[in-house]
Chains A and B, each alone.
Chain A
Amino acid sequence: MTAQALEGLKVADFSWYIAGPSIAMWLAHHGAQVIRIESLTRPDELRGIEPFKDGIPGINRSGCYANYNSNKYGMALNLKHPKGLELARKIVCWADVAVENFTPGTMEKKWGLGYEGMKKIRPDIIMLSTSGLGQTGPESQQPGFGLELVSRAGFPHFVGWPDQDAVGVGYPYTDTVSPPIAVIGILAALEYRRRSGKGQYIDLSQHEIAVQHLAPAILDYTANGREGGRMGNHHPDAAPHGAYRCQGENRWCTIAVFNEEEWEAFCKVLGNPAWTQDPKFATVFSRKANEEELDRLVESWTSKLPAEEVMHRMQNAGVAAGVVQSGKDLIEDPQLKHRHHFWYLNHPEMGSCAYDGPPFKLSETPAELRMPAPCLGEHTEYVCTQILGMSDEEFVELLTEGVFE
């Protein structure tokens, strides 16, 4: 095992679903020791969400849960039991970092483990709360479903075609764009603590992060009063620019031509058919003006070829092009294979399955995915006796008292 960048960093993970658990996962991938706290009576609801191994549901069979919880120690803890709460306090005392994503205020109200509560136990703790709309403000208590948040952040305004109803983004994009910023915030807080000795509370709104991802369009409104809108796959500075139908069922290849050099290369790949010489396609402006026709002509060529062939021929000529990859394509993608993007970890119930690794490679301390996601309560004993230093007797006593349910 090579050195791990975050060796020695201790993280208490009180979160659930996707936006919270992903945060501690990134830290775990780089060597942090993460205790993931769940309860047997109320496990993470992500455990009930598809995909399941072989399509068979089961508390330890969800690939959705698995993909955001690798490298963590899974502990079951009954926080309703006074001794369970006592143990949670011990974990807070042990931790450098605590992550949670309950409805704002829950940690304090239910368990006295808000930032003030945690600070009393561990004065220099770094606590991060992530929620749909942040910890403060009139709507902070609104349920933070990612799918709806993406709409509130403005995405449907920029997806789809102007001649159709808006279609939106059909997945909780906020759940995947906010965790990296949370990890950065935690590491920045650790740096600040290293210099000042001070802990920190971070209140992250997933909605606010998603809005950051539309910044140029926001500025176009605040500076120019322009609201933009849906434009399909078109781009103000490029043509052709789109996803073009290829041979086969639901197969598409994207192509983007931004300048004249790329246009010439593009035409050459097509074998310079007569229409490419038509003055109405001579410049990017004229191509933009005749874009619908251009798209049809491009598609008349791509639709006769496999998407992979279109991509290879374009890329070999220096034109940006890429297949619209499905899950199958991603799993089989030679570039992702070369970069070892997917890690196959052997899970006691799911067997060997694919986990996403980080999209960046560190030269000295590359991430290492060592452990599959924990089965519910899999490491309770290990956490108590090996990490928290509890005696076997005490563990058995707590076990019989129902502290780990």
Chain B
Amino acid sequence: MSKEKRDLPLSPYRVLDLTNEKGYFCGKILADLGADVIKIEPPEGDPGRDIGPFYHGRQDKEKSLFFFAYNTNKRSITLNIQTHEGQEIFKRLAKTADFVIESFNPGDMDKIGLGYSVLKGVHPRVIMVSITPFGQEGPRKDWKASDIVAIAMGGLSHITGSPDRPPARVSVDQAHAIAGAQGAMGAMIAHYYREATGKGQYVDTSTQESAVLSALTVPQAWDLQRFVWPREGAYMSRARKRVRHLWPCKDGYIAWRLFTGGLGVKTRALVDWMKSQGKAGELADVNWQEMDLLTVPEEKFYHWQELFGKFFKAHTKAELCGEALARGIVLIPASTPKDLLADPQLEARDYWEEVDYPELGTTITYPGALYKSSEIEWEFRRAPLIGEHNREVYEEELGFTKETLTTLKQRGVI
């Protein structure tokens, strides 16, 4: 495969990506930014390839949409690093690498002689990033965590879901994506230092801690006020009232909340619209800028919310959002994936990327660039097939003969 010579921020750099699903996003970010990210998979394929959903629902290591989502722009080689020969080959590759990222259990890389203490001897400039549930040190370093556990231990579940049900999670795994981004941030900070001093280093990333950083000021609320942040579902507590922020409408849900004070004009704008439809009732008489939530009697407040709720129920997302935009009301659709694909703002910003999957005879639409930049022309290559770049890397770069490659394959090394 001919690699484009486009000059992206990380074009000169190589990453060896040993991660499983716990760290994919880290390598994807570096790959999207132009680094030559080589995904190193066991000969039977990366375990994350067994995670669904699958293309057309068919479980197949080459059809995991989960794997596809987080492995664009990477190359793939197979290598069994559990074998001595595999380890020696890995060290040769490490000499050419600027970053090594991995997400095995703490100590696993040391056990096979590929820990940071060894790799820095092989290549002092290398930056090694580990992403594990609880980090490399501490009493719980060997504990297991899938998404639900990491999100719970990081304090996010405690504030997610309705009060009358168990604490909830987002059913699309978040912990590993959050931790992957944090790992990439650590890698880039270490990179800045390396370019200034020539020194590599080790980046020990904890998924639990990454989740804590998404839990906003949950720990600070306890530390400063002895306040336990509750889970309130579609409501939030403001001035001793339960202010609703997510509402059912005719064909789904919308996000809206009753603003007062400076933002009271936004509430006014909605009431004006309701008035024009004859649906405002007593809402028409309220001065939303001057209204003090604290002193409004509860009954009255909840009756107001009921009136708004009825109005939303009578309209579709499109009706509500279209009018909201025209009238300056802060009312936002709760998007489904289908809505997102039709989102005019994403469309106008050319957000979606068509990524070509010739083996499947199709293209797949992806969320595109991480951000827009005056200097970056983003490009997206599909996730690699298992060992797709073995020949390129082993023959062309490391100079293995076809015979050596065949022997290594037979011995289960590649």
Asked if B345 contacts A356 (CB within 8 A), the reply is no
A173 vs B214: C-alpha distance when bound (angstroms): 7
Q: A167-B161, A359-B182 are in contact. Are A205 and B225 (CB under 8 A)?
A: no
Contacts of B256 in A (CB 8 A): 148
Q: A136-B349, A188-B10, A353-B224 are in contact. Are A360 and B138 (CB under 8 A)?
A: no
Write the nearest CB–CB distance from B350 to chain A, whole angstroms.
9
Within 8 A of A (CB), among B163-186: 165-174, 177-179, 181-186
Asked if A151 contacts B223 (CB within 8 A), the reply is no
Within 8 A of A (CB), among B341-360: 341, 343-346, 348-349, 351
Contacts of B129 in A (CB 8 A): 360
Q: Which of A135, A157, A237 contacts B337 (CB 8 A)?
A: A157
Interface size class of A (residues with CB under 8 A): 35 or more
Majority SS at the chain B contact face? mixed
Asked if A241 contacts B335 (CB within 8 A), the reply is no
Say whether A368 faces chain B, with CB atoms less than 8 Å apart. no
Interface size class of B (residues with CB under 8 A): 35 or more
Per-residue CB proximity of B226-255 to A under 8 Å, as 1/0?
011101111110000000011010000111
Residue of A nearest to B129 (CB): A360
Contacts of A338 in B (CB 8 A): 137-139
Say whether A382 faces chain B, with CB atoms less than 8 Å apart. no
A360 vs B212: C-alpha distance when bound (angstroms): 12
Within 8 A of A (CB), among B97-117: 116
A-B contact pairs, 13 of them (CB 8 A): A63-B217, A139-B345, A151-B255, A182-B371, A187-B191, A213-B177, A215-B70, A315-B140, A327-B227, A335-B134, A350-B224, A360-B209, A365-B201
Stretch at the interface among B52-60, B267-275, B401-409: B52-60
Asked if B52 contacts A170 (CB within 8 A), the reply is no
Write the nearest CB–CB distance from B104 to chain A, whole angstroms.
16
Write the nearest CB–CB distance from B310 to chain A, whole angstroms.
15
Q: A216-B69, A338-B138, A360-B182 are in contact. Are A243 and B349 (CB under 8 A)?
A: no
Q: Which of A8, A63, A189, A241 contacts B220 (CB 8 A)?
A: A63
Asked if B325 contacts A365 (CB within 8 A), the reply is no
Majority SS at the chain A contact face? mixed
Say whether B81 faces chain A, with CB atoms less than 8 Å apart. no
Per-residue CB proximity of A144-156 to B under 8 Å, as 1/0?
0101111111111
Say whether B189 faces chain A, with CB atoms less than 8 Å apart. yes
Asked if B152 contacts A324 (CB within 8 A), the reply is yes
Write the nearest CB–CB distance from A318 to chain B, whole angstroms.
7
A136 vs B348: C-alpha distance when bound (angstroms): 8
Residue of B nearest to A338 (CB): B138
Asked if B371 contacts A330 (CB within 8 A), the reply is no
Q: A5-B193, A184-B188, A356-B212 are in contact. Are A322 and B168 (CB under 8 A)?
A: no
Asked if B218 contacts A6 (CB within 8 A), the reply is no
Contacts of A285 in B (CB 8 A): none
Residue of A nearest to B154 (CB): A325
Asked if B148 contacts A243 (CB within 8 A), the reply is yes
Stretch at the interface among A74-82, A252-260, A286-294: A252-260
Say whether B287 faces chain A, with CB atoms less than 8 Å apart. no
Write the nearest CB–CB distance from B233 to chain A, whole angstroms.
4
Contacts of A135 in B (CB 8 A): 372
Q: Which of A3, A177, A333 contacts B181 (CB 8 A)?
A: A177
Contacts of B154 in A (CB 8 A): 325, 330
Residue of B nearest to A53 (CB): B224
Asked if A133 contacts B202 (CB within 8 A), the reply is no
